[in-house]
Amino acid sequence: MKLNRERAIYLAAVSQTLGAAQFGYFGGKSLELLLQSQGLPDSLLVVLMCPAVYVVFTLAGYFVLSERFTRRH
């Protein structure tokens, strides 16, 4: 799939924003519960998924840019 520069930058920015928003929202709630000494959230899946989803979205953003700008013709 050929991407023009604007679309590649847009997709990378969207993926970074989604990753950061998801990590911030769920990570913040988990940290808040820990600081209030209420223990971890009921679902440890939420805690484990925060870094995983962030990494996936971050790598997707970098992949979009690197595929566009480093492809050999």
* pTM of this prediction exceeds 0.75: no
DSSP state string for 41-54: -S-HHHHHHHHHHH
Domain boundaries, the chain: 5-70
Tens of pLDDT along 8-67? 777 777 777 877 777 777 777 777 776 676 665 556 666 677 777 777 777 777 777 776
The reported pLDDT for the residue numbered 63 is: 75
The reported pLDDT for the residue numbered 45 is: 65
Q: Report the distance separating Cα 40 and Cα 24, nearest Å.
A: 16
The reported pLDDT for the residue numbered 20 is: 76
